[in-house]
């Protein structure tokens, strides 16, 4: 039997394709809509993979993002995360260009264009040039 998939083209439907994968986590702190997120290593045991926090590339524990938050959350709230596929208005640094691979930046929750000195993996690709520190992205799918 063939695979059935929903394809509905249109500029107003951010869920236009079944190719977007969303997972629900618990927030380890305050997370804003569009923040790049990573696992919360301040938790213990398996909770380290249940909780997420806004990513920032200043310490190994928070430097590897794997998706973008779809909703705002505070500590303990459920937070839906795009772990693969299209994400609209993701936080990225100005200067990020269409087609750039995106890694975690030194600003909380914000991605930036991959550079030669980066050692963390790219987790998304810009689908347009950034404006006002946001752009639409394709999350690569490091989580799934």
Extract the tokens encoding 67: 């998706």
Extract the tokens encoding 115: 């550079």
What's 23-139's CATH class?
mainly beta
Separation CA 29–CA 14 (nearest Å): 26
CA dihedral 35, 89, 102, 62 (to 10 degrees): 0
Residue 11: per-residue pLDDT: 56
Query: With a cut of 70, which residues of the chain have pLDDT below it?
Result: 1-18, 61, 144
Residue 110, judged by CB atoms within 10 A of its CB (0-12, 13-18, 19+), counts as: buried
Tens of pLDDT, residues 26-41: 999 999 999 999 999 9
Residue 62: per-residue pLDDT: 73
Extract the tokens encoding 40: 């919360």
Residue 119, judged by CB atoms within 10 A of its CB (0-12, 13-18, 19+), counts as: exposed
Residue spans of the domains in the chain: they are 23-139
Residue 8: per-residue pLDDT: 61
């Amino acid at each position: 039997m063939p695979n059935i998939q929903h394809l509905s083209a249109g500029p107003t439907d951010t869920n236009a394709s079944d190719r977007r994968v969303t997972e629900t986590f618990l927030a380890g702190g305050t997370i804003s809509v569009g923040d790049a997120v990573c696992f919360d290593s301040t938790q213990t045991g398996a909770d380290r993979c249940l909780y997420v926090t806004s990513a920032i590339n200043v310490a190994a524990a928070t430097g590897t993002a794997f998706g973008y938050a779809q909703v705002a959350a505070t500590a303990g709230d459920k937070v839906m995360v795009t772990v693969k596929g299209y994400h609209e208005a993701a936080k990225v640094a100005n200067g990020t260009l269409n087609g750039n691979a995106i890694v975690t930046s030194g600003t909380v929750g914000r991605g930036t264009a991959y550079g030669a000195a980066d050692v963390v993996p790219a987790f998304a690709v810009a689908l347009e040039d950034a404006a006002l520190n946001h752009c639409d992205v394709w999350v690569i799918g490091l989580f799934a």
